[in-house]
Amino acid sequence: MIAKYGLSVIAVFTFLLGVKAQAEDTDPNGVSTRPLWELSAVAGGIYSPDYPAADKNSLHGLALPYLIYRGDFFRMGRDSIAKGVFIENDYTELNVSLAASFNANSSENNARRGMPDLDYLAEIGPQLKIKIGELYGGKTELQLPVRAVFSTDFGRIDQRGWHFNPKVSHERKNIFNSSIDMSSSIGSSFATKKLHEYFYRVEPRFATATRPAYEADGGYLGSDITLGLSYGITDRVRAYVGWRVGYYGGSANEESPLFRQKMNSSIYVGFTWSIYQSKTLAVSN
């Protein structure tokens, strides 16, 4: 159960930390104003598709404590639930980070009824960030993550191939001179055959009159646009809301009977509360 909630919170952060603009990191002199670590709590809900190109959405949510840590190498709870930073300068960052997504119950999805459930997915791997610079009053960067994908029902773990998700992200703080911060991104996904099989393969034993057997191929998975807003209710409480639209036309497995529609969307809301902050400040990078 602890492992399940641990992966759930990573999945929530995969969405909520996409709305990653936060309070100012430094004072006018460039000195860090952020504590080295914080004990915080997160509560969030996500209404998202069961899998890419699915025609059914499911609601997921949880409330849990979590730790923010802003070390020189190891960091938790900003733009990734956890990551190790190997290289960081004014132009690039190289790190290893985590991502995750929720499970789906096949008995509640008409396209997959009678097939195995989709388990939680966890991803880990290197990511190169190229800092494009200040554009339109905000920070813009190119992100190039390559991650190994694993599925688990907490009884076993299976490797599901590799996922490449290049994207361009943009952040703006204090839009309209308010406490509202904004983040947006546009990107595409490519995956090896194993991950495509996990979503789109239909083994002969699961074939029906309306769901023929299908062998999946690797390649292009889809593209998405994300827009998120965060609002500082107080100096320790922040609200998040976001919207993600995925488009899967031209996907390598558009002919699969499990490929149900070319476009779907997710919406997510959440709150974070900084319960305790260390007196020691993080070192500015």
Q: Where are the domains of the chain?
A: 2-277
SS3 79: coil
Between CA 145 and CA 211 the distance in angstroms is: 34
Between CA 104 and CA 158 the distance in angstroms is: 16
Question: Reduced to 3 DSSP states, what percent helix, strand and coil does the chain have, rounded to the nearest 5?
Answer: 10, 55, 35
Residue 157 has pLDDT above 50, yes or no: yes
- The fold of the 2-277 domain, in CATH, is Outer membrane phospholipase (ompla); Chain C (2.40.230)
CA 221 vs. chain centroid, Å, equals 16
- Helix (H) / strand (E) containing 193: helix 193-200
Higher confidence at residue 43 or residue 258? 258
* pTM of the shown model: 0.85
Angle at CA of residue 53, ends 206 and 188, nearest 5° = 130
What average pLDDT does this structure show over 267-274?
91
Higher confidence at residue 17 or residue 160? 160
Between CA 265 and CA 236 the distance in angstroms is: 30
- pLDDT-above-70 percentage for the chain: 85
Q: In this predicted structure, which of 145-154, 159-168, 171-180, 193-202 has the lowest mean pLDDT?
A: 171-180
Predicted local distance difference test score (pLDDT) of residue 1 = 42
Predicted local distance difference test score (pLDDT) of residue 98 = 83
Residue 152 has pLDDT above 70, yes or no: yes
Which residue bears the tokens 């602890």?
Answer: 2
Angle at CA of residue 70, ends 173 and 188, nearest 5° = 60
Task: Give me the chain's average pLDDT, please.
Answer: 86
Segment 57-99, tens digit of pLDDT? 999 888 888 788 887 777 766 555 666 777 888 899 898 888 8
Between CA 62 and CA 270 the distance in angstroms is: 10
Residue 32 has pLDDT above 70, yes or no: no
